[in-house]
Amino acid sequence: MKRLLASREVLLLIAIGALMTVIALRFPAFIAPSNLADVFNDTSPLILLAIGQMIVILTKCIDLSVAANLALTGMVVSLINVAAPDTPIALIVLLATGFGALLGMVNGLLVWKLAIPPIVVTLGTMTIFRGLIFLLTEGKWVNSHEMSDAFKAVPRTVVLGLPILSWIAIAAVIAFTIVMNRTTLGRAFYAAGGNPHAATYAGINVGKTQFWAFTISGAIAGLTGYLWVSRFAVAYVDVAGGFELTVVAACVIGGVSIMGGIGSVVGAVLGALFLGIIANALPVVNISPFWQMAISGAAIIIAVALNAQANRSPGRIILKRAEHAT
């Protein structure tokens, strides 16, 4: 598996490299380290959400409510900040993560205990979460001047050359690489999605595993919600509208199998970076945003076609056997 994944990820790295070369030919400043750092920072929310989504997709589920969760949690912490500007930021971060996790748990419980298809559950909660924002605010925005300076400062504070937002994304990549490869929970995610029946017989509670996947995805969405509204210094009903599809796209481009059981943190991150580079570079080189959408779409289809090709290999078994015989 390592070799296969490696090849998938290497392929994506090459694609990203080619993309950057093409961009650099027309606009050399794009690959200046400071600009690349900006691109990375700009892509950080997508990286965070893609990691959560990757875990959910691994377990044969999908979480369409991530962007709505992000917007609702962002609004809730903004309102808390407006009502109690002295609330410590550490507590705000904790609240955002916890509240997001709670919303994720709602998804997870519905999938686990009521066995409702995940796409239906999260389509429903997506709408409910957005509706809740409207109920909370009656459609009013929370604007920059209402937020405390400390609240807005966190994602932009630069530490060791990178904004905290980027550091959080990097920390998440490291933490979840460890979770996925070195913990029983991580193994359970792969097993539950790879073959739910076999996982059940091996003593893994598939429903509960899916519940935890949704909880993690929700917690990440909640944390990202705070980072998002504080970075843009505004919270309203339509924050990150439609962003859930970009997140799923990042996963798919990153080699995460929509059938479950196959995927990696590195893949999801590369998929997010690929989309992030397109989003940041194309306007610079004067290509219309509509081309950007078309390119993202083509990338998704190419990625899925490549993955399908990789998984369909009837002759490989014979080859392997011949290999062993020699």
Partner 1 sequence: MSTQATTDTDPVLLLSGVTKVFPGVRALSDVSLTLHAGKATALVGENGAGKSTVVKILTGIYQPDAGHILMDGEPIQLPSPQSAEQAGVTAIHQETVLFDELSVAENIFLGHAPKGRFGLIDTRQMISRSTQILESIGAKIDPTAVLRDLGTANKHLVAIARALSIDARVVIMDEPTAALSHKEIEELYDLVEGLKRQGKAILFISHKFEEIFRIADFYSVYRDGQMIGEGAMQDVDEPDLVRMMVGRDVDQIFPQRTSNIGSEVLVVDTYDHPTEFAQISFSLRRGEILGFYGLVGAGRSEFMQALFGITRPSGGSVRIGGDPVSIRSPADAVGHGIVYVPEDRGRQGAIGALPIFQNVTLPSLHRTSRQGFLRLAEEFSLAREYTQRLDLRAASLDTEVGNLSGGNQQKVVIAKWLATQPRVIILDEPTKGIDIGSKAAVHDFMAELAAQGLAVIMVSSEIPEIVGMSDRVIVMREGRIAAELGRDQITPETLVGHAAGLSEAV
Return the number of the residue (2 or 145) whose C-beta is nearest partner 1: 2
Return the number of the residue (155 or 261) whose C-beta is nearest partner 1: 261
Stretch that binds partner 1, among 6-14, 134-142, 255-263, 301-309 (CB under 8 A): 255-263
Footprint on residues 77-116 left by partner 1 (CB under 8 A): none
Task: Give the residues across from 162 on adjacent strands.
Answer: 159
**Contact with partner 1 (CB under 8 A) among 83, 159, 160, 317:** 317
Pick from 301, 306, 299, 308: which is nearest to 16 by CA?
A: 299
Instruction: Compute the radius of gyration of the chain from its Cα atoms.
Output: 20
| Interaction mask 155-194, partner 1, x per CB under 8 A | --------------------------xxxxxxx--xx--x
Return the number of the residue (35 or 195) whose C-beta is nearest partner 1: 195
**Interface with partner 1, residue 199, by CB under 8 A:** yes
Q: Are 252 and 118 in contact (CB under 8 A)?
A: no
Q: Minimal distance in Å, beta carbon 260 to partner 1? A: 9
Which helix (H) or strand (E) is 260 found in, with range? none
Q: Minimal distance in Å, beta carbon 137 to partner 1? A: 40
**Contact with partner 1 (CB under 8 A) among 10, 22, 25, 198:** 198
Q: Minimal distance in Å, beta carbon 311 to partner 1? A: 8
**Contact with partner 1 (CB under 8 A) among 218, 261, 267, 271:** 261
Pick from 100, 119, 61, 102: which is nearest to 229 by CA?
A: 100
| Long-range contacts at 179-182 (CB < 8 A, ≥ 24 apart) | 180/55, 180/264, 180/265
Pick from 268, 272, 273: which is nearest to 258 by CA?
A: 268
For 7, other C-beta atoms within 10 Å of its C-beta total 12
Using DSSP, state whether 234 is helix, strand or coil. Answer: coil
**Interface with partner 1, residue 1, by CB under 8 A:** yes
**Interface with partner 1, residue 308, by CB under 8 A:** no
**Interface with partner 1, residue 145, by CB under 8 A:** no
**Interface with partner 1, residue 6, by CB under 8 A:** no
Return the number of the residue (179 or 287) whose C-beta is nearest partner 1: 179
> Which 3-state string (H, E, C) describes 213-279?
HHHHHHHHHHHHHHHHHHHHCCECCCCCCCHHHHHHHHHHHCCCCCCCCCCCHHHHHHHHHHHHHHH
Cα distances (angstroms) measured from residue 200 to each of 107, 112, 185, 215, 292: 21, 14, 14, 20, 43
Q: Minimal distance in Å, beta carbon 177 to partner 1? A: 13
**Contact with partner 1 (CB under 8 A) among 262, 275, 277, 299:** 262
For partner 1, the binding residues (CB under 8 A) are 1-4, 181-187, 190-191, 194-195, 197-205, 257, 261-262, 316-317, 320-321, 323-324
